[in-house]
């Protein structure tokens, strides 16, 4: 990760900023989320930065040694008794990430639902557009059928058709014979 000036951070911190910066960011996020509730007795925030550590320890679902290692806890006998490699701890953590990911399950479900709704919306837009086009086409035809031009052309066609038909005189059975040229 780089700094604004282009240099890189050095050290073992996961997040290269100070505790006070982390506290500021947490308090600001709580304020924006409307979670800036204070205890009436102590006048301290109910949701504080340490809540994240408590949440992590409660929900991670790993054995205590790995959990303590991930949280940065060290005991005086840890070096003598704990023999887990960093790779093993990292692998365990990667498997347990969903346990501490606030949005992981809901987020993937919401993404899928959003994609489905977008597809449905696109289909509806296409259907709506084609129906709009069909309505416009039918409105044009209706206007033409109402026009004097259509009436004139219809009369011409009927006259033309009637001239091509020859009707023979009725017979005793009153049947009409039509001959076409």
The reply to whether 112 and 127 lie within a common domain is yes
Tell me how far apart the alpha carbons of residues 30 and 36 are, in angstroms, rounded to a whole number. 6
Residues 137, 98 within the same domain: no
Is residue 44 helix, strand or coil? coil
Maximum alpha-carbon separation in the chain: 127
Beta bridge partners of 180: 165
Tally the domains of the chain: 2
The whole domain housing 156 covers 108-180
Asked if 37 and 100 sit in the same domain, the reply is yes
Q: How far apart are CA 175 and CA 178, in angstroms?
A: 10
Share of the chain above pLDDT 90, in %: 22
Write down the pTM of the prediction: 0.45
Same domain (yes/no): 134, 88: no
12-21, 109-118, 130-139, 159-168, range with greatest mean pLDDT: 130-139
Check residue 27 and give its pLDDT.
Answer: 92
Pairing assessment for the beta strands 165-167 and 178-180 based on DSSP bridges:
antiparallel
Q: Do 138 and 174 belong to one domain?
A: yes
pLDDT of 10: 66
- Helix (H), strand (E) at residue 59: helix 50-59
Q: What is the rounded CA–CA span in Å between residue 94 and residue 88? A: 10
Q: Which of 80, 105, 130 is the last residue of a domain?
A: 105
72-94 residue pLDDT tens: 777 765 666 666 778 888 888 88
């Amino acid at each position: 990760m780089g700094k604004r000036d282009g240099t890189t951070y050095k050290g073992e911190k996961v997040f290269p900023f100070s505790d006070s910066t982390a506290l500021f960011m947490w308090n600001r996020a709580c304020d924006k989320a409307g979670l800036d509730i204070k205890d009436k007795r102590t006048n301290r925030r109910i949701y504080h930065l340490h809540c994240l550590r408590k949440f992590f320890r409660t929900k991670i679902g790993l054995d205590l040694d790995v959990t303590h290692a991930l949280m940065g806890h060290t005991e005086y006998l840890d070096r003598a008794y704990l023999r887990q490699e960093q790779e093993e701890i990292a692998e365990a953590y990667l498997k347990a990430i969903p346990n501490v990911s606030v949005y992981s399950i809901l987020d993937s479900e919401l993404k899928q639902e959003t994609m489905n709704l977008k597809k449905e919306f696109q289909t509806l837009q296409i259907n709506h557009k084609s129906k709009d086009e069909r309505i416009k086409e039918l409105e044009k035809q209706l206007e033409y059928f109402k026009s004097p031009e259509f009436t004139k052309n219809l009369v011409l066609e009927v006259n033309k058709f009637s001239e091509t038909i020859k009707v023979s005189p009725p017979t005793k059975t009153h049947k009409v014979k039509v001959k076409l040229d």
